Amino acid sequence: MKLQTAPRNIIPLLKGLVLSFSSYAERKRISLTFNAAEHEIMVYLDRDKLEKILTNILSNAFKFTPEGGKIQVSLRVRPPDGRSNLNMPEEKATSSVGRRTPRIDWFHDGGIDICITDTGIGIPADRMDKIFDRFYQVDGSHTREHEGTGIGLSLTKELVELHKGKISVESEPGKGSSFTVSLPLGKDHLRPEEIYEEDEMKEYEKEISEIEGEEESKPEGIRAELIEKDALPLLLIVEDNSDVRAYIKENLKTDYRILEAVDGEDGWNKSMEQIPDLIVSDVMMPKMDGFRLCEKLKTDERTSHIPVIL
CATH of the domain at 297: 3.40.50.2300
Name the more confident of 90 and 217: 217
- 291 shares a domain with 146: no
Give me the mean pLDDT over the 61-89 stretch.
77
Both 95 and 229 in one domain: the answer is no
User: 30 and 136: one domain?
Assistant: yes
Residue 79 lies in a domain: yes
Domain boundary among 160, 194, 228: 194
Task: Output the pLDDT for position 138.
Answer: 55
- CATH code of the domain in which 21 resides: 3.30.565.10
Query: Are both 189 and 223 inside the same structural domain?
Result: no
In this prediction, residue 87 carries a pLDDT of 37
Q: What is the pTM of this model?
A: 0.61
Domain end among 146, 161, 194 = 194
> Are 67 and 190 members of one domain?
yes
Q: Is the residue at 201 inside a domain?
A: no
Q: For position 100, what pLDDT does the model report?
A: 38
pLDDT in tens, 251-287: 899 899 999 999 999 999 999 999 999 999 999 888 8
CA separation (Å) from 12 to 22, 167, 204, 244?
15, 21, 22, 29
Same domain, 140 and 39: yes
Domain-embedded: residue 49: yes
Please check whether residue 270 lies inside any domain of the structure: yes
Same domain, 104 and 137: yes
Which candidate, 129, 142, 154, places its Cα nearest to that of 52? 154
For the residues 169-189, what does the mean pLDDT come to?
92
Asked whether residue 183 falls in the same domain as residue 48, the answer is yes
- Quick one: CA dihedral 197, 199, 205, 211, positive or negative? negative
Same domain, 113 and 14: yes
The order of strands in the sheet holding 111-118 is 31-36, 70-78, 111-118, 176-184, 166-172
Q: Are both 47 and 148 inside the same structural domain?
A: yes
Let me know whether 127 and 243 are in one domain. no
Is the pLDDT at 13 greater than 80? The verdict is: yes
Domain membership of residue 10 (yes or no) is: yes
For residues 304 and 13, what is the distance between their CA atoms, to the nearest angstrom?
50
The answer to whether residue 1 is domain-embedded is no
Q: Give the pLDDT of residue 73.
A: 97
Residue 202 counted as domain residue: no
Which among 161, 194, 227 is the end of a domain?
A: 194
Q: How much is the pLDDT for 104?
A: 38
Range of the domain at 70: 6-194
HEC string of the chain equals CCCCEEEEEHHHHHHHHHHCCHHHHHHCCCEEEEEECCCCCEEEECHHHHHHHHHHHHHHHHHCCCCCCEEEEEEEEECCCCCCHHHCCEEEEECCCCCEEECCHHHCCCEEEEEEEECCCCCCHHHHHHCCCCCCCCCCCCCCCCCCCHHHHHHHHHHHHHCCCEEEEEEECCCEEEEEEEEECCCCCCCHHHECCHHHHHHHHHHHHHHHHHHHCCHHHHHHHHHHHCCCCEEEEECCCHHHHHHHHHHHCCCCEEEEECCHHHHHHHHHHHCCCEEEECCCCCCCCHHHHHHHHHCCCCCCCCCEEC
Q: Are residues 136 and 249 in the same domain?
A: no
297: phi then psi, degrees, rounded to nearest 5: -65, -45
Is 144 part of a structural domain of the chain?
A: yes
Number of structural domains the chain divides into: 2
